[in-house]
Amino acid sequence: MNSLIAGVILILCLSSYFFGRSEARKLVTQNIKLKALPAYYGYYLSLWCGLPALIIFGCWSLFEPTIIKVLILNNFPQIESKDLFYEQTLSFFNGNFSGEITNEIKAASIKYSSINIIAQNSKIVIIAAALIGSLTFAYRKIQKNNKARDDVEIILKILLFTSSLVAILTTVGIIVSLLFESIKFFSTINIFEFIFGTSWSPQRAFVRDASAITPEELLELQDAFGSVPLFAGTAFIALIAMCVAVPIGLFSGIYLAEYASTKARKYSKPIIEILAGIPTVVYGFFAALTVGPFFRTLGESLGLTVSSESALAAGLIMGVMIIPYISSLSDDVINSVPQSLREGSYAIGATKSETIKKVVIPAALPGIIGSILLAVSRAIGETMIVVMAAGLAANLTINPLESTTTITTQIVMILVGDQEFDSPKTQAAFALGLTLFIATLILNYIALRVVKKYREKYD
C-alpha cells in the first residue's frame, strides 16, 4: 500500500515535469516572454507536485503507529504492561501470535483493524488532496508566468539545507544519548574511580535488576570500573601500531612523492591504498589466526612466554592497516610542496636527500603531523582487530607479549548478548564510548588545526 502511494506520487512528479514544461512552451507560442526557461516550469510543477505530498506521506507514516497505539491503549486502561500487550495484539492481528489469547487481545485487535482501515483511507484522501491542491496552485502560477527559476532555487536550497540538518542532528542525537547514559553511569559509579581506577572487572556488576543493588553492593562495585587498564591498553596498542605505520608509511610516502617514476607511482599508490580497503575483520582474523600463533611459536623457540593473543600481534597488524593513511596523506602533502623550493635547494648544490630532509619534509611537516594524528585517532577507535587479536583480560602491562585489552574491545564485550540496559555494566559502555569519542575528537581537532596552519604557509 505504502509503496503504491509512493510510486503514484513519483510518477505524478515525473509527468508533471513534462506537463509543466509543455505548458510553459505553449505560453511561448502565444508570444509571451517567459521569466525562466520552460524546463524550470517543469521542475517547478514537479517539485510542487511531489514535495507537499511526500512530506505529508512521510510524517503520516512516521506518526501513524504511535497515534494508533495511543488510541487503542486508551480503550484498555486496566492493562498493566501496555507495551507487551500492544505487541501481542499486533502479532495476533498479523496471525503469528503463539501465546495465550485473551479477550482483551481479541477486542484490541478488532479495534486495531477498524482504526487501521480508517487511517489508510484518510491517508489516501489527504495525500490526494495535497497532490491536487499543490498541482493546481503551481499550475496557476505557471499561467501567471512567475519567476520559476528563483522559486526552484529556493526550494533546492531548502532541500540541501535539510539534508545537512539531518546529518548534524544525527550527530547531536548520538552525542546526547552518549552523554545521558554516561551521566546515569556516573550517578552510580564515582567518576574519579572510573578515570583513575586501575582494576576493570565489570562482570561483577552483572546483577539482574539495577534497582535491586543495595548501597553495600554499590560500594563494592565502585572499584570494578577503573578504566586505566583500558586506556593504557588502547594507548599501548596504538603506540605499537604507530611504531609500525609511521616509519613505513612516511618512507613509502616520501618514495612515492620524490623518487618513484610517474609510472611506478601510478601503479603502486593504488596498491598501497588497497590496504585501506581490506575489511578490518579480515585483518582481525589474520592477526588472530596467523600472526598471533606465529609470534607464540617464535617466542617459544626463543624461550619466551608469548600469549597467543598479544598486544604485539594486534598492534603490528593495526599498524599495517594504518600504513596507507599515512603514506597516501603524506604523499599528497609532500607533493604539494612547491617545486620551486626543491629547485632553490638543488641550485645551491643540495643533493636530493638533503633537499628532502632539510627543505621538503620541514615544509610538509605540519601536514605530515596532521596525517599521523588522523591515523592515531583511527588506531584508537579501531575495534575488530583488537577484539580478535588483543584479548579480553584487562592487564595493566607494558609487556607487548602479554594479552591486553582496549576500550573498544570492552565496549563490544559489554554489549554482546542479552543485556539489562539499566545495569551499571551496560552504562559503562556508554561512558567508555563517550571518553573515546572525546579523545578522538580532540585528536582530530588538533590534526585539523595543524593542517589548516600548514595551508596558510604558501598562499
Partner 1 sequence: MELNNSKIKIKAKNLNVFYGKKQALFDINLDINQKEVTALIGPSGCGKSTFIRCINRMNDVIDICKVEGSVEIDGAEINEKNVDVVTLREKVGMVFQKPNPFPKSIYDNIAYGPIIHGAAENKDQMDNIVETSLKKAALWDEVKDRLNEPGTSLSGGQQQRLCIARALSVNPEVILMDEPCSALDPIATAKIEELIDDLKKSYTIVIVTHSMAQAVRVSQKTGFFHLGKIIEVDSTEKIFKNPANKMTQDYITGRFG
Interface contacts to partner 1, rule CB under 8 A: 261-262, 338, 340-351, 354, 358-359, 362-363, 457-458
CA-CA distance, 185 to 169, in Å (whole number)? 24
From residue 85, give the alpha-carbon distance in Å to each of 80, 115, 275.
8, 17, 51
Residue number with CB closer to partner 1 (46 or 345): 345
Nearest distance in Å: CB 454, partner 1: 10
Cell numbers 601503479 label which residue?
A: 267
Q: Which three cell numbers stand for residue 17?
A: 515535469
**Are 348 and 318 in contact, with CB atoms under 8 Å apart?**
no
Residue number with CB closer to partner 1 (198 or 351): 351
Which letter does DSSP use for residue 360 in this model? Answer: I
Nearest distance in Å: CB 358, partner 1: 7
Backbone angles phi, psi at 225, to 5 degrees: -120, 40
Nearest distance in Å: CB 226, partner 1: 46
From residue 287, give the alpha-carbon distance in Å to each of 290, 309, 321, 385, 409.
6, 9, 11, 7, 15
Kindly report the length of the chain: 459
Indicate the burial class of 245 (C-beta count within 10 angstroms; 0-12, 13-18, 19 or more). buried
SS3 31: coil
Residue number with CB closer to partner 1 (220 or 343): 343
Residue number with CB closer to partner 1 (208 or 263): 263
Residue number with CB closer to partner 1 (183 or 359): 359
CA-CA distance, 62 to 66, in Å (whole number)? 8
Residue number with CB closer to partner 1 (3 or 339): 339
Residue number with CB closer to partner 1 (60 or 346): 346
| Residue 69: CA count within 13 A, CB half-sphere | 13
* 358, β-bridge pairs: none
Nearest distance in Å: CB 343, partner 1: 7
Nearest distance in Å: CB 455, partner 1: 13
Burial string for 14-42 (b: 16+ CB within 10 Å, else e) reads eebbebbbebbeebeeeeeebebebbbbb
Cell numbers 613505513 label which residue?
A: 248
* 225, β-bridge pairs: 200
Residue number with CB closer to partner 1 (78 or 262): 262
CA-CA distance, 337 to 257, in Å (whole number)? 10
Residue number with CB closer to partner 1 (346 or 437): 346
Residue number with CB closer to partner 1 (140 or 455): 455
Residue number with CB closer to partner 1 (358 or 449): 358
Virtual CA dihedral for 185, 191, 196, 199, nearest 10 degrees? -30
CA-CA distance, 289 to 305, in Å (whole number)? 18
DSSP assignments along 254-302, one per residue: HIIIIIS-HHHHHHHHHHHHHHHHS-HHHHHHHIIIIIHHHHHHHHHHT
* 200, β-bridge pairs: 225
Rg (CA), the chain: 31
